[in-house]
Amino acid sequence: MTQIIRPVPAAPWVAQLFSSQSARKGAVVRRSRRWVEREVGRDAFEREVRRRGFHLIETGDQMIVVCHAGPIRIVF
């Protein structure tokens, strides 16, 4: 049996991600790189993070969005 995958418009997923309680409080949200590429597309995701003035960190297979425009200091 073949599974049919219907593409979902990116906008609702992006809106859902950035309207989460964590994002609204200026905290961190994370998604796997695979989720971003499959559901939104990397370029569109990066554009949206940049448009909002947030920071994007990629580590391993995770994409971490710091949902505020303030400075970030990596301790070690």
pLDDT digits (tens, 9 = 90+) for 18-66: 888 999 999 999 999 999 999 889 999 999 999 999 999 999 999 999 9
User: Per residue in 7-31, pLDDT tens?
Assistant: 555 578 778 888 889 999 999 999 9
In the structure, how many helices (H) and strands (E) does the chain have? 4, 3
Q: What is the pTM of this model?
A: 0.80
CA 1 to each of CA 4, 7, 66: distance values in angstroms, whole numbers, following the listed order: 10, 19, 41
What's residue 17's pLDDT?
87
